[in-house]
């Protein structure tokens, strides 16, 4: 049986409207992708681009203002800020992407199951999400990250525990509305089993929306990683991380304000790139 | 009956931002106390013509030609009575607010005048004691409130945009009777927009038939109905079954 | 059919209005029970032995056994749970602090007022600024001001709240010296003054979401039929905007704030740390560095229960304020 989707244009792509052309016609997607690609390229090639080591201290040249030698100056231990900034992107972006994989999958799965089956399955899953949502996001992130031990392992455990909620809620709503639509009902009367309908018909339809949510959720996750770093229960020094960099710079805000400001701008930059990609994808799938 | 025109429209043209012409070269005039029925299918530009007279064209639509000369204030009655009222504002207060800003009475006098209007429109006196929200009233009652708000403007011209379409058939008749009675009492001129030829014929002494943004035929109700010149008018007449009994021309008396 | 002479009864609506209230109360109660269970299991499902975390890796087995006894971890799980629930219902407590021996409830009650004041101020600031920006954006749709305000959320989405706080300190406290760098001032006015910048910081994180949905809400109201009616009746534009449009947009704002209260509390905890405010947030971080499990549990529990209760109150308030739910339709 053919898969039915609510975005028929995805399947009827003729030779005239290639995917590339449609991406080029969506300015926000294009801009966001370029912004993100620049960051990724920098992060990948930074060992060849910078003569400095991100962790090597040089106490004879500490707290230097931006110069030709040190584009963004140096920190309190004489490390080149620009080099550390990009190495931190490596750390933070890798964790951001990896930590999102499991929550994304479990969230979509639970959301579809809850939305499609309804009744007690839905009630149980909704009760669990309601319970999690009652805890302020940062409170639960801080406590779980602390309890499962500082460092990267704690971050992964935290997001496996709490990250799926967002996706489950969005997908549950979508699935419940699709369930009421005729094509699902007709698939059911044709005798298709629940798991089959969920995988073949529901999944392709909820996936685009889930990916759009993924983009903004990644921004939230990145901000959470950075916040944990700032609070000293995330990535441990000397591994470069935007959060710890901001925390280290906070002691020098009256003399070297850029130490705290610049890593924050890096987070904001990534946030803008990802939300542009998210908006662009939503546009791309919504209309032709 | 006086014959000074209170409203004259010449070659009115309305265009959307997409350059699509929605109303083209529409001309008609309206005498004091007269009622004109503007008939046509949905999308023929009737409602837009009314909005232009009112000076409240929807976003993205502009008047690109023609003149509207109006010698009197106009007020409007809308199609969906529930949507036309602020759901969070008690109804008497809404009418009183219009009285307050249009007739420049004190707050207290405004409320009294509003209650007077509601009484005139046959709304229950219990509103005097307990004010109600639009959601607590029936569709017909809401439409009476909307009419009261329009009348609170003391209009020389009442613009009715399909005021009965969203209502039950029996309520439709009551509303039409009320509007007809008020027109006789207060003597305002009226443009009655509807897609229902029978309703227009019962309410109005003159008819103008619109199709695709243009007036294809206009004249006295009787002549338009009895000797339609345009095939489209003929089609509209044929689609009304049965044709209602008509009172003699110009008497303004409604369905009997 | 409804005769014009009769009004539809409003009493019929009451029957349904009580059933939703019961349902909402039951739902809130069940979620609170789940929250309690979650808090209980919180320190038991995560890897690692709490006693070891408190005493350090190289502690003696005897010390660990003693700590297990203090924490009640030597009892069977179900007995621990019953003790936990019993303590909670009899004294609203999650045990005594391992460090100071003071009851958790007392510790939280000491710190709560500052945090609550901060949250309240942040709420007020967020609503005022969001309403202002949304009104400007909605009334200038597709013009420059609207575009600028609409870019705002995309930029602020990726702003860590603590970093925003640091920027504010840099600019407004260090450079311009308008506000103190941190801490809480003496007396009412000193307190309000010193909490202004932290409150603005917390509000800042809420404003984008609020503006985005308020703007959409206001546009919907501005284009609704009743606004056309009011404009047709030549009611002055400012009266339409302030009396009718704003009021119709206010209810959804209230609901939105109820949904976001959880984020607001979380943000406040972090911002307290940036500004050195001795509230619940700093209690949380002290307890975390001291590995003071009962206090951490207590904070989690009180925050989550407050969120559930505030959401419930907002839901009730919104229903109560909305006349549409009072009558039959």
In this complex, do C304 and A219 lie within 8 Å of one another by their Cβ atoms? no
Return the number of other C-beta atoms located less than 10 Å from residue C11's C-beta. 8
In this prediction, residue C1 carries a pLDDT of 37
| H or E, element range at B9 | strand B5-16
Return the number of other C-beta atoms located less than 10 Å from residue B186's C-beta. 14
Query: Chain A, 144-203: which have a CB under 8 Å from a chain C CB?
Result: 144, 146-149, 157
Q: Is C174 on the interface with A (CB under 8 A)?
A: yes
Nearest chain C alpha carbon to B142: C4
In this structure, what is the dihedral angle of CA atoms C202, C208, C212, C214, given to the nearest 10 degrees? 30
Q: Is the dihedral of CA C304, C305, C310, C312 positive or negative?
A: positive
Domain chopping of chain C, boundaries = 15-91, 105-325
pLDDT digits (tens, 9 = 90+) for B242-251: 555 555 554 4
Give the separation between CA C318 and CA C322, rounded to whole angstroms.
6
Please say if the pLDDT value at position A260 is more than 70. yes
In this prediction, residue A6 carries a pLDDT of 47
Contacts B126 to C, Cβ<8 Å: 7
Whether residue C297 contacts residue C92, with contact meaning beta carbons closer than 8 Å, is answered with no
Cα distances (Å, whole numbers) of residue A9 to A13, A27, A74, A286: 6, 19, 52, 10
Please say if the pLDDT value at position B255 is more than 50. no
Distance in angstroms between the alpha carbons of the first and the last residue of chain B: 23
In this prediction, residue A105 carries a pLDDT of 94
Please say if the pLDDT value at position B169 is more than 50. yes
In this complex, do C326 and B135 lie within 8 Å of one another by their Cβ atoms? yes
ipTM for the complex shown: 0.81
Contacts C38 to A, Cβ<8 Å: 131-132, 135
Q: Is B88 on the interface with C (CB under 8 A)?
A: yes
Give the separation between CA A204 and CA A183, rounded to whole angstroms.
14
pLDDT digits (tens, 9 = 90+) for C68-89: 777 777 777 788 888 888 888 8
State the nearest Cα–Cα gap between B225 and chain C, in angstroms.
32
pLDDT digits (tens, 9 = 90+) for B100-137: 888 888 888 888 888 888 888 878 777 777 778 888 88
Task: Pick from C158, C179, C312 the residue to mutate for testing the A interface (most A CBs within 10 Å).
Answer: C158
Considering only CB atoms, C42 lies closest to which of A143, A223, A271, namely: A143
Contacts C296 to A, Cβ<8 Å: 143, 146
Q: Is C280 on the interface with A (CB under 8 A)?
A: no
In this complex, do C38 and A131 lie within 8 Å of one another by their Cβ atoms? yes
In this complex, do C239 and B138 lie within 8 Å of one another by their Cβ atoms? no
Over range C126-150, report the average pLDDT.
84
Q: In terms of Cα–Cα distance, which of A152, A163, A153, A142 is closest to A231?
A: A142
DSSP 8-state assignment for residue A287 = -
Cα distances (Å, whole numbers) of residue C220 to B118, C126, C203, C225, C252: 29, 21, 25, 10, 12
In this prediction, residue C45 carries a pLDDT of 65
Give the separation between CA C84 and CA C297, rounded to whole angstroms.
11
Please say if the pLDDT value at position C32 is more than 60. yes
In this prediction, residue A14 carries a pLDDT of 47
pLDDT digits (tens, 9 = 90+) for C140-173: 877 787 888 878 877 888 888 888 988 888 888 7
Q: Is B141 on the interface with C (CB under 8 A)?
A: yes
Over range A172-182, report the average pLDDT.
82
Give the separation between CA B93 and CA B86, rounded to whole angstroms.
10
For chain C, give the mean pLDDT: 81
Q: Is C295 on the interface with A (CB under 8 A)?
A: no
pLDDT digits (tens, 9 = 90+) for A41-94: 988 888 887 777 777 777 676 767 777 676 777 777 767 788 888 888 888 999
Q: In terms of Cα–Cα distance, which of A82, A55, A56, A53 is closest to A67?
A: A82
Whether residue A64 contacts residue A52, with contact meaning beta carbons closer than 8 Å, is answered with no
What domains can you pick out in chain A, each with its CATH number?
45-286 (1.10.3720.10)
Whether residue A136 contacts residue C266, with contact meaning beta carbons closer than 8 Å, is answered with yes
In this prediction, residue A12 carries a pLDDT of 46
CB pairs under 8 A between A and C: 147
Can you say how many angstroms the Cα of residue A16 is from the centroid of all Cα atoms in its chain?
33
Q: What is the pTM of this model?
A: 0.78
Please say if the pLDDT value at position A8 is more than 50. no
Q: B96: helix, coil or strand? A: helix
Q: Give, in degrees to the nearest 5, the angle at Cα A41 between A35 and A46.
A: 125
Please say if the pLDDT value at position C66 is more than 50. yes
State the nearest Cα–Cα gap between C246 and chain B, in angstroms.
11
Give the separation between CA A95 and CA A43, rounded to whole angstroms.
13
Subunits close to B (at least 3 CB pairs below 8 A): C
Beta strands (DSSP E) in C130-279 are none
pLDDT digits (tens, 9 = 90+) for B193-234: 888 888 888 888 888 888 888 888 888 888 888 888 888 888
Cα distances (Å, whole numbers) of residue B252 to A127, B190, B224, B240: 65, 12, 17, 21
In this complex, do C223 and B59 lie within 8 Å of one another by their Cβ atoms? yes
Q: Is C308 on the interface with A (CB under 8 A)?
A: yes
The listed CATH number (1.10.540.10, 1.10.3720.10, 3.40.640.10, 1.10.760.10) that belongs to domain C105-325: 1.10.3720.10
In this prediction, residue A109 carries a pLDDT of 93
Contacts A133 to C, Cβ<8 Å: 262, 307
Whether residue A215 contacts residue A29, with contact meaning beta carbons closer than 8 Å, is answered with no
Please say if the pLDDT value at position A103 is more than 90. yes
Give the separation between CA B99 and CA B116, rounded to whole angstroms.
11
In this complex, do A138 and C269 lie within 8 Å of one another by their Cβ atoms? yes
Please say if the pLDDT value at position B3 is more than 70. no
Phi, psi (deg, nearest 5) at residue C138: -70, -35
Task: Pick from C11, C222, C232 the residue to mutate for testing the B interface (most B CBs within 10 Å).
Answer: C232
C275 token code pair? 């500004």
């Amino acid at each position: 049986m053919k898969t039915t989707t609510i975005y028929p244009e995805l399947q009827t792509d003729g030779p005239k409207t290639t995917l590339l052309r449609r991406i080029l016609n969506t300015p926000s997607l294009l801009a966001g992708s370029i912004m993100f690609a620049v960051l990724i390229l920098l992060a990948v090639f930074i060992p060849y681009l910078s003569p400095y080591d991100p962790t090597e201290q040089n106490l004879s040249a500490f707290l230097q203002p931006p110069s030709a030698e040190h584009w963004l100056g140096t920190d309190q231990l004489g490390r080149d800020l620009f080099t550390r900034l990009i190495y931190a992107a490596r750390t933070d972006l890798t964790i951001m992407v990896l930590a999102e994989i499991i929550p994304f999958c479990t969230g979509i799965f639970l959301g579809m199951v809850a939305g499609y089956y309804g009744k007690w399955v839905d009630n149980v899953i909704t009760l669990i999400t309601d319970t999690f949502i009652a805890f302020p996001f940062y409170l639960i992130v801080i406590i779980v990250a602390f309890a499962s031990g500082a460092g990267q392992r704690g971050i992964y455990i935290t997001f496996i525990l709490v990250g799926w909620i967002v996706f489950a809620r969005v997908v549950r709503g979508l699935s419940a509305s699709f369930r009421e639509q005729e094509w699902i009902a007709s698939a059911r009367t044709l005798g298709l089993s629940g798991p089959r309908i969920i995988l073949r018909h529901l999944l392709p339809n909820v996936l685009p929306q889930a990916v759009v949510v993924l983009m903004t959720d990644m921004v939230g996750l990145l901000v959470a990683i950075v916040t944990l770093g700032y609070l000293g229960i995330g990535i441990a020094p000397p591994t470069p991380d935007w959060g710890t960099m901001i925390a280290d710079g906070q002691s020098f805000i009256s003399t070297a304000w850029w130490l705290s400001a610049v890593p924050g701008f890096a987070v904001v930059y990534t946030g803008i790139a990802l939300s542009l990609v998210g908006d662009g994808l939503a546009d791309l799938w919504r209309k032709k | 009956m006086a014959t000074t025109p209170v409203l004259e429209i010449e070659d009115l043209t309305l265009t959307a931002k997409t350059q699509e012409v929605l109303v083209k070269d529409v001309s008609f005039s309206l005498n004091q106390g007269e009622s004109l029925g503007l008939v046509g299918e949905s999308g023929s530009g009737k409602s837009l013509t009314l909005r232009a007279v009112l000076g409240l064209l929807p976003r993205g639509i502009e008047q690109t030609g023609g003149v509207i000369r109006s010698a009197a204030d106009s007020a409007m009655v809308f199609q969906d009575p529930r949507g036309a009222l602020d759901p969070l504002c008690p109804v008497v207060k809404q009418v009183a607010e219009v009285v307050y800003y249009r007739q420049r009475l004190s707050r207290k006098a405004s409320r009294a005048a509003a209650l007077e209007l509601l009484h005139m429109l046959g709304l229950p006196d219990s509103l005097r004691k307990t004010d109600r929200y639009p959601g607590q009233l029936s569709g017909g009652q809401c439409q009476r409130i909307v009419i009261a708000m329009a009348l609170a403007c003391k209009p020389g011209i009442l613009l009715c945009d399909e005021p009965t379409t969203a209502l039950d058939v029996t309520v439709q008749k009551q509303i039409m009777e009320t509007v007809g009675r008020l027109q006789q009492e207060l003597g305002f001129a009226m443009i009655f927009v509807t897609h229902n030829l029978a309703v227009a014929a019962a309410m109005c002494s003159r008819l103008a038939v619109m199709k695709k943004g243009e007036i294809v035929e206009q004249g006295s109700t009787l002549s338009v109905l009895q000797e339609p010149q345009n095939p489209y008018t003929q089609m509209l007449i044929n689609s009304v079954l049965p044709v209602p009994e008509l009172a003699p021309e110009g008497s303004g008396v409604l369905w009997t | 059919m409804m005769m014009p002479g009769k009004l539809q009864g409003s009493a019929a609506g009451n029957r349904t209005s009580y059933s939703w209230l019961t349902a909402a109360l039951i739902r809130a109660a069940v979620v609170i029970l789940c929250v309690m269970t979650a808090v209980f299991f919180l320190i038991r499902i995560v890897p690692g032995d709490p006693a070891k975390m408190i005493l350090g890796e190289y502690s003696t087995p005897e010390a660990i056994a003693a700590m297990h006894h203090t924490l009640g971890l030597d009892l069977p799980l179900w007995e621990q749970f019953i003790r936990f629930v019993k303590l909670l219902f009899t004294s609203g407590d999650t045990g005594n602090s391992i460090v100071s021996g003071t009851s958790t409830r007392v510790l939280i009650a000491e710190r709560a007022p500052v945090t609550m004041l901060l949250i309240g101020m942040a709420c007020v600031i967020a609503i005022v600024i969001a309403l202002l920006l949304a009104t400007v954006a909605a009334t200038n749709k597709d013009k420059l001001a609207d575009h600028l305000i609409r870019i705002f959320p995309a930029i602020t989405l990726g702003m860590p709240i603590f970093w925003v706080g640091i920027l504010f300190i840099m600019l407004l406290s260090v450079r311009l010296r308008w506000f103190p760098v941190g801490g809480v001032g003496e007396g009412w006015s000193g307190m309000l003054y010193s909490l202004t910048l932290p409150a603005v910081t917390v509000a800042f994180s809420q404003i984008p979401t609020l503006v985005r949905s308020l703007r959409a809400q206001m546009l919907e109201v501005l284009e609704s039929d009743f606004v056309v009616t009011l404009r047709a009746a030549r009611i002055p534009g400012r009266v339409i905007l302030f009396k009718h449009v704003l009021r119709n947009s206010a209810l959804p704002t209230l609901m939105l704030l109820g949904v976001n209260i959880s984020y607001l509390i979380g943000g406040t905890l972090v911002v307290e740390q940036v500004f050195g405010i001795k509230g619940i947030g700093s209690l949380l971080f002290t307890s975390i560095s001291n590995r003071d499990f009962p206090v951490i549990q207590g904070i989690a529990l009180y925050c989550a229960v407050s969120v559930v209760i505030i959401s419930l109150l907002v839901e009730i308030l919104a229903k109560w304020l909305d006349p549409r739910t009072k009558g039959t339709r």
